[in-house]
Amino acid sequence: MLLAIDCGNTNALFAVHDGDKWRAQWRSATETSRTADEYAVWLHQLLGMENLSLDDIDACIISTVVPQSLFHMRNLARRYLKCEPMVVGESDLDIGVVAVIDNPREVGADRLVNAAGARTFIEGALLLVDSGTATTFDLISAKGEFLGGSIAPGMYLALQALHDAAAKLPRIAIEKPKKTIGTNTVSAMQSGIFWGYVGLIDGLVRRIKSEYDEPLTVIGTGGVSPLFSGASETIERFDSDLTVRGLLDIFERNRGKI
């Protein structure tokens, strides 16, 4: 079985694939100080709830934008799974997507993995809108070239900044408000954040489309992307599984190389 790990700035995703289907997925808060032993205890308990064990896993692939966590996750694979993990962006892996920007090494592994995942089920040029710690817009050509995009702060960062910088603004949850005009502080903040980000997304998507000559399929992904369903005028479909699709595709492309 394959353990796929995607470690982002806020959360880390762990998913198990048995060769035919995904058996389970879990998320953990990203903590750079968490050791391989701590990950193993946590994972052992969750696997047990699915009638699985660490011994059932014999392969691992890791994608991370948090270098401090890679050491511990690599040790998790070596020590407890008895395998050498594939690491996206570190070795000469065939990702199926080639970065053709000014400095290809700058592209986060998560963005390339999402692109690989999208290309497994959609042909043609793509624009991926990933709503996470950051809100990223990634342009992928029909030939599988990562052409660049845009990066903006994510919704949670914006909310945190409001709470930290303004003494009277509370910490609130992200929700889709019924009206644009808020009649109290919480509803006003929810409106500004939610509809502000809808405007940000739709505005940037339209600008990117105007600068690119080919038709684009716009896909929304990321933790808060389902909130935009029915609100965004430019996102054509939503898929929260782009990352695991991409990790599985990259693993299959490179099976036997490590």
**Residues designated as active site:** 110
Nearest 10 degrees: Cα torsion 90, 92, 96, 101: 70
Residue from 65, 66, 47, 34 nearest 3 by CA: 47
Following DSSP, what letter does each residue of 52-115 receive, concatenated? --GGG--EEEEEES-HHHHHHHHHHHHHHS-SPPEETTTS----S-EE-SS-GGGS-HHHHHHH
How many whole angstroms separate alpha carbon 29 and alpha carbon 20? 28
How many whole angstroms separate alpha carbon 183 and alpha carbon 67? 44
Q: CA 205, 209, 214, 215 torsion: positive or negative?
A: positive
In Å, the largest CA–CA distance within the chain is 60
Distance of CA 169 to the CA centre of its chain: 29
Helix intervals (H) in the chain: 36-49, 67-80, 109-118, 155-165, 185-211, 242-254
Q: Name the burial class of residue 220, with classes exposed (0-12), middle (13-18) and buried (19+) by CB atoms within 10 angstroms of its CB.
A: buried
How many whole angstroms separate alpha carbon 137 and alpha carbon 129? 5
DSSP 228: G
